[in-house]
C-alpha cells in the first residue's frame, strides 16, 4: 500500500507492507538515525516526532502517518550538535544509539515547556533509556542546553 506523508520537510510516498511499522519504513527509506533498541515500546531509541509530538516508531503503524509530518534528527542537526556539546561538557555518555532520540525529545520538550524544572526534565525523558550510565550528567547537560549555556 502507498502511504504519503511529510518527512523532514519533504513530501514522500512510500510503498509499505500491511502492518508495517514506521521504524522499518524509515530505516528502509534510508533514515538510519532511527534505532531499534528493544522493538517492544520500552527503550525510546526509536523515537521520532509526529506533528511535533514524540512517538515510538516501533509501535506506530506507517499507515497511521498518512498526511502527517514526521521528523527525525536529520532535520535538527544544528540543534543536535549543540546538545551534543553540552553532553560532552558534562561528561555524559553519547553512544550514538540513543542520541538521536534524546535530541528529538529535548527538541519537543523545548517547544512544550521551554523552562522545565529538573523534575519536569526527568519526567519527560523517563521513557528514553540509556544502558551505559546514570542519568545525572545527561540531566545536567539538558538543563544547560535549555538554559542556553554554551
The residues of the shown chain that bind ligand FES, judged by CB under 6 A, are 36-39, 41-46, 56, 58, 93-95, 97-98, 130-133
Contact 124, 61 (CB under 8 A): no
Question: C-beta of 105: minimal distance to ligand FES in Å?
Answer: 12
**In the complex with ligand FES, which residue's Cβ is closer, 36 or 122?**
36
CB atoms within 10 A of CB 13: 8
**In the complex with ligand FES, which residue's Cβ is closer, 54 or 148?**
54
**In the complex with ligand FES, which residue's Cβ is closer, 9 or 65?**
65
Question: C-beta of 59: minimal distance to ligand FES in Å?
Answer: 6
DSSP-assigned letters across all residues of 38-57: SSSSSS-TTEEEETTEEEEG
Of residues 94, 135, 98, the one with CA closest to residue 118: 135
Question: C-beta of 66: minimal distance to ligand FES in Å?
Answer: 21
Question: C-beta of 92: minimal distance to ligand FES in Å?
Answer: 8
Grid cell of 9 as nine digits? 520537510
**In the complex with ligand FES, which residue's Cβ is closer, 3 or 56?**
56
Of residues 52, 50, 23, 16, the one with CA closest to residue 37: 23
Amino acid at each position: 500500500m502507498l502511504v504519503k506523508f511529510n518527512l523532514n520537510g519533504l513530501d514522500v510516498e512510500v510503498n509499505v507492507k500491511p502492518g508495517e511499522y514506521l521504524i522499518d519504513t524509515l530505516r528502509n527509506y534510508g533514515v538510519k538515525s532511527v534505532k531499534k533498541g528493544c522493538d517492544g515500546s520500552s527503550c525510546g531509541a526509536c523515537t521520532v516526532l509526529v506533528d511535533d509530538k514524540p512517538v515510538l516508531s516501533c509501535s506506530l503503524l506507517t499507515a497511521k502517518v498518512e498526511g502527517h509530518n514526521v521528523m527525525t534528527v536529520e532535520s535538527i542537526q544544528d540543534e543536535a550538535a549543540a546538545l551534543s556539546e553540552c553532553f560532552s561538557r558534562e561528561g555524559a555518555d553519547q553512544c550514538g544509539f540513543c542520541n538521536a532520540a534524546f535530541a528529538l525529545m529535548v527538541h519537543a520538550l523545548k517547544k512544550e515547556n521551554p523552562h522545565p524544572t529538573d523534575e519536569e526534565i526527568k519526567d519527560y525523558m523517563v521513557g528514553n533509556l540509556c544502558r551505559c550510565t546514570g542519568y545525572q550528567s545527561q540531566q545536567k547537560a539538558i538543563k544547560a542546553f535549555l538554559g542556553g549555556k554554551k
